[in-house]
A and B are shown apart, each in its own frame.
Chain A
Amino acid sequence: MYLETPEGIYLALRPAGLPVRVLAFAIDLLLRAALLAFAGAAWLYLGKFGLGLASISAFLLLWGYMVLFEVLNQGRSPGKQIMGLQVIYSDGTPIDWSGSLIRNLLRVIDLLPFAYCIGILCLLNSARFQRLGDLAAGTLVIYEARPTQRKSLPEVTASPSARTLTRNEQHALLNFAERQQQLPKRRSEELAAIIAPALHIEPAQAVSGLYAIARSILGLR
């Protein structure tokens, strides 16, 4: 899914689907259960006062856990953070109190009639993986954009391409060079053979020729 900002920049948002969100929710659930167990221990040891504490913390865990984490931790509850997810508004802006509250209050509807049946069906049926709460609040759960380490290119002498390449084609060439580790040697040769003649590269040095072009695209020597 792509958003265009007023400055003309394309932002790629990748909405997260059912499996990863179920897992994130399970992590959150376990965490809350553990915290609740602590509260229960307080009840055992502190008597009535402990019971009060336990009820208050149970209430906070039930209603506040998700909202607080989402608003104060860039849309990430601990489970989401572990799975690399993030809640944002569907226009790409960060989530705030109202969005998070609506989203998490409607959780009650999503978990009807049992174990999030409605939520699961909604997620399966929505193109952007939104459950009812997300639809009401206009929010999305997306994969967090984490900075990636650019992989090193093979060590060959750079030489520019004989022909002009569009941006997508340059991307493909860079990808080809960066994924040299994953690709089997014969497959690399096969791929290089597709465009070697068009780029006036000797078939024998097709692969290294493409690596050289990729280096020149990046401005390396």
Chain B
Amino acid sequence: MHLNQVQVLLRPRNSWEAMDLGILLARRHAGLLMATWAAITLPFFVLLTLLFWQQPTLPALIIWWLKPAFERLPLHILSKALFANTPRFTDSIKAWPTLLKLQLLASLTWRRLSLRRSFTLPIQQFEGLAGAARQQRVLTLTHKYKQVPTWLTILGIHIEMALWLGMVVLLYLLIPAQLQADWSWSSLLTVSHSEWLWFEHLSNLLYVLVLIVWEPVYVACGFTLYLNRRIELEAWDIELAFQGLAQRLKNSPLLIVFALLCLFPYSDTALAQSAETEVISSASEELDTNGPRLLKQLLNSEQAQQSIKQILDAPPFKTYKITKSWHFNDPSSTEYTSPNWLNQLLKQLSFTIQSLLWLLLLVISVIMLWHYRQWLRAFAQQRQPRQQYNPAPKQRVLGLEVSSDSLPDDLVASAHTLWSDNPRAALSLLYRGLLNHLLEVQALPLSTAHTEDEVLAMSQNLPKPLQCYSQQLTVHWKNLAWGQQTLNHAEFVQLCTDWQQLQSQEAKP
């Protein structure tokens, strides 16, 4: 038994946890355990069924009664598997007959009905004790575990029953409803016994199938309970840890010897002698961390460097990966020396190109500066106080400039000069003149949001001639501005003379 090969974490658990460990153990080796259990029980069951076809209760009863005999095989497999020595299927089957030799009669008779069966079986199978010695051993081991193995068996019975009934109910649920319609329980009870033989054998088979699933788990739980008790009593976990500790400390005695060797020969005189040289050497080597230093110590710098390097080369810091890929043969392997003149030429060429590149850089920077001069100036002048420039608010009506200084002095003359090549500009000049007049002389509250018709409507209360003129001009202006319909020359001249008349009338009074 080598504890360092054990496949579970050794620690004392409470008894329920120990059983859980058994379930996990059975789960890990489920395939092997179930296959071997099936291999030894199923043929036996088939044989029994054929032998006792008329007594359907017997095969199930016999299988149930022989359970302790079958249970020795999963226990054997588990004990091997615990120490990383899982047997193969054929080997385990071959091992079964030898397992049966040990106290089989006792297991099948007076110990059969013991509720602590799963817990005492390992004691019997692994320790091979008999008589008073066995009694004593069982007492020792069950000292604290009087209840738990019993509970395991009671729970086991219930789980077996639950699974078996579950299988039966599942079968019942699979029967089509049409067939069930005329079933009644009284008729089921009165049918002759022989007609239902097959059903009883079927339910026996289901029981055997349930055992394939549950028995390995049950045995494993008992086994781990036993194991847990021994871990507790014999402190396997501590033994394992102590062995590891002893191993670790044993691996380093070389270091101890080395340390002793280093420390002892240095008598005081030796230290005094070496001190002088050390002072000289330390001045030059103090900063050189790569050279050998601290040679008088238990762990000198060389060893330290080496172990640091080893650790840094190990996986968490550095992982080595070998990758393979295709390469061309290395062309540089053929030696080639270029002639001297070529070297000279290349040198000059490279110098020229270098100077050109520098020049290019210079030119580009100058161009950039020139290009962004406004922008740069804006930044450069930010310190100076900004000049306040508030232009007089422009008077605009209908999107047209109507202030007096935006109009020419002689409105009609300029309109006439514009008329020949740009009638639109000419008419707009007249209209602006009108608006200016309305705004400044008549003092109408015009704003930029007004339309032509609104302006016209506001001029209702003005003197008749002005009103008339503005009506005419507005019609023509609208036609031209919105409808692109140019008025003829006579109409334009008429408008001009009307405007002059109005101006002269204004001037008279």
A interface with B by C-beta (< 8 Å): 14-20, 22-23, 83, 113-117, 120-121, 123-125, 127, 129, 143, 163, 165, 168-169, 171-172, 175-176, 179, 182-184, 187, 191, 194-195, 197-199
| Among candidates B20, B165, B242, B249, residue contacting A191 with C-beta atoms closer than 8 Å | B242
Please determine whether B242 and A172 come into contact, CB atoms closer than 8 angstroms.
yes
Q: Beyond A117-B166, A120-B162, A182-B232, is A17–B246 a contact (Cβ under 8 Å)?
A: no
Within the complex, the shortest CB–CB distance from A187 to chain B, in Å, comes to: 6
- Secondary structure class of chain B's binding surface, majority of residues: helix
Q: Beyond A15-B20, A16-B16, A117-B162, is A187–B155 a contact (Cβ under 8 Å)?
A: no
B140-177 CB contact bits vs A (8 Å, 1 = yes)? Answer: 00000000000110010011011101111110010000
Nearest A residue (CB) for B163: A117
Please determine whether A194 and B242 come into contact, CB atoms closer than 8 angstroms.
yes
Cα distance, A198 to B244, chains bound together (Å): 11
Within the complex, the shortest CB–CB distance from A200 to chain B, in Å, comes to: 10
Please determine whether A124 and B249 come into contact, CB atoms closer than 8 angstroms.
no
Within the complex, the shortest CB–CB distance from A172 to chain B, in Å, comes to: 3
Q: Beyond A113-B173, A195-B245, A198-B250, is A187–B20 a contact (Cβ under 8 Å)?
A: no
Please determine whether A114 and B162 come into contact, CB atoms closer than 8 angstroms.
yes
Q: Beyond A179-B238, A195-B246, is A115–B151 a contact (Cβ under 8 Å)?
A: no
Cα distance, A125 to B23, chains bound together (Å): 9
The 24 sampled A-B contact pairs (Cβ below 8 Å) are A15-B20, A16-B16, A17-B16, A19-B221, A20-B20, A23-B151, A113-B166, A113-B170, A113-B173, A117-B167, A120-B159, A124-B217, A127-B27, A143-B14, A143-B17, A169-B241, A172-B238, A172-B245, A175-B235, A184-B233, A187-B233, A194-B239, A194-B242, A195-B246
Is B102 at the interface (CB under 8 A from chain A)? Answer: no
Please determine whether A19 and B233 come into contact, CB atoms closer than 8 angstroms.
no
Residues of A within 8 A of B221 (CB): 19
Residues of B within 8 A of A127 (CB): 24, 27
Nearest A residue (CB) for B172: A113
Nearest B residue (CB) for A184: B233
Residues of B within 8 A of A19 (CB): 16, 19-20, 151-152, 155, 221
Cα distance, A33 to B73, chains bound together (Å): 41
Interface size on B, residues (CB 8 A): 43
Within the complex, the shortest CB–CB distance from A196 to chain B, in Å, comes to: 9
Nearest A residue (CB) for B22: A17
Is B213 at the interface (CB under 8 A from chain A)? Answer: yes
Cα distance, A218 to B11, chains bound together (Å): 21
Cα distance, A187 to B233, chains bound together (Å): 9
Cα distance, A123 to B26, chains bound together (Å): 12
Within the complex, the shortest CB–CB distance from B364 to chain A, in Å, comes to: 53
Nearest B residue (CB) for A169: B245
Please determine whether B165 and A182 come into contact, CB atoms closer than 8 angstroms.
no
| Among candidates A14, A125, A171, residue contacting B27 with C-beta atoms closer than 8 Å | A125
Is B355 at the interface (CB under 8 A from chain A)? Answer: no
Cβ-Cβ contact count across A and B, 8 Å cutoff:
120
Within the complex, the shortest CB–CB distance from B139 to chain A, in Å, comes to: 14
Residues of A within 8 A of B17 (CB): 14, 16-17, 143
Given A20-B16, A121-B163, A195-B242: 4 more A-B contacts, CB < 8 Å = A19-B16, A114-B162, A127-B24, A183-B233
Nearest A residue (CB) for B256: A163
Cα distance, A171 to B244, chains bound together (Å): 13
Cα distance, A23 to B244, chains bound together (Å): 39
Residues of A within 8 A of B335 (CB): none
| Among candidates B159, B165, B234, B239, residue contacting A18 with C-beta atoms closer than 8 Å | B159
Please determine whether B235 and A16 come into contact, CB atoms closer than 8 angstroms.
no
Is B57 at the interface (CB under 8 A from chain A)? Answer: no
| Among candidates A20, A115, A169, residue contacting B19 with C-beta atoms closer than 8 Å | A20
Please determine whether B165 and A115 come into contact, CB atoms closer than 8 angstroms.
yes
Cα distance, A191 to B246, chains bound together (Å): 11
Cα distance, A191 to B17, chains bound together (Å): 25
| Among candidates B169, B170, B249, residue contacting A163 with C-beta atoms closer than 8 Å | B249
Cα distance, A123 to B151, chains bound together (Å): 18
Please determine whether B249 and A198 come into contact, CB atoms closer than 8 angstroms.
yes
Q: Which residues of B, 1-37, contact A by the 8 Å Cβ criterion? A: 12, 14, 16-17, 19-20, 23-24, 26-27
Within the complex, the shortest CB–CB distance from B360 to chain A, in Å, comes to: 56
Please determine whether A194 and B235 come into contact, CB atoms closer than 8 angstroms.
no
Please determine whether A187 and B235 come into contact, CB atoms closer than 8 angstroms.
yes
Cα distance, A169 to B27, chains bound together (Å): 31
Residues of A within 8 A of B166 (CB): 113-115, 117
Residues of A within 8 A of B151 (CB): 19, 23
Please determine whether B235 and A199 come into contact, CB atoms closer than 8 angstroms.
no
Residues of A within 8 A of B162 (CB): 114-117, 120
Residues of A within 8 A of B163 (CB): 117, 120-121
Residues of B within 8 A of A172 (CB): 237-238, 241-242, 245
Nearest A residue (CB) for B174: A113
Within the complex, the shortest CB–CB distance from B157 to chain A, in Å, comes to: 11
Please determine whether A176 and B238 come into contact, CB atoms closer than 8 angstroms.
yes
Cα distance, A176 to B242, chains bound together (Å): 10
Residues of B within 8 A of A15 (CB): 20
Cα distance, A19 to B18, chains bound together (Å): 11
Is B243 at the interface (CB under 8 A from chain A)? Answer: yes
Within the complex, the shortest CB–CB distance from A3 to chain B, in Å, comes to: 16
Please determine whether B238 and A113 come into contact, CB atoms closer than 8 angstroms.
no
Residues of B within 8 A of A83 (CB): 16
Residues of A within 8 A of B24 (CB): 17, 127
Q: Beyond A14-B17, A17-B16, A168-B241, is A191–B235 a contact (Cβ under 8 Å)?
A: yes
Please determine whether A16 and B238 come into contact, CB atoms closer than 8 angstroms.
no
Shortest 8 CB-CB contacts between residues of A and residues of B: A117-B166, A17-B20, A172-B241, A115-B162, A198-B249, A20-B16, A114-B169, A114-B166
Within the complex, the shortest CB–CB distance from B250 to chain A, in Å, comes to: 6
Within the complex, the shortest CB–CB distance from B15 to chain A, in Å, comes to: 9
Nearest A residue (CB) for B20: A17
Residues of A within 8 A of B169 (CB): 113-114
B215-257 CB contact bits vs A (8 Å, 1 = yes)? Answer: 0010001000000000011110111011111100110000000
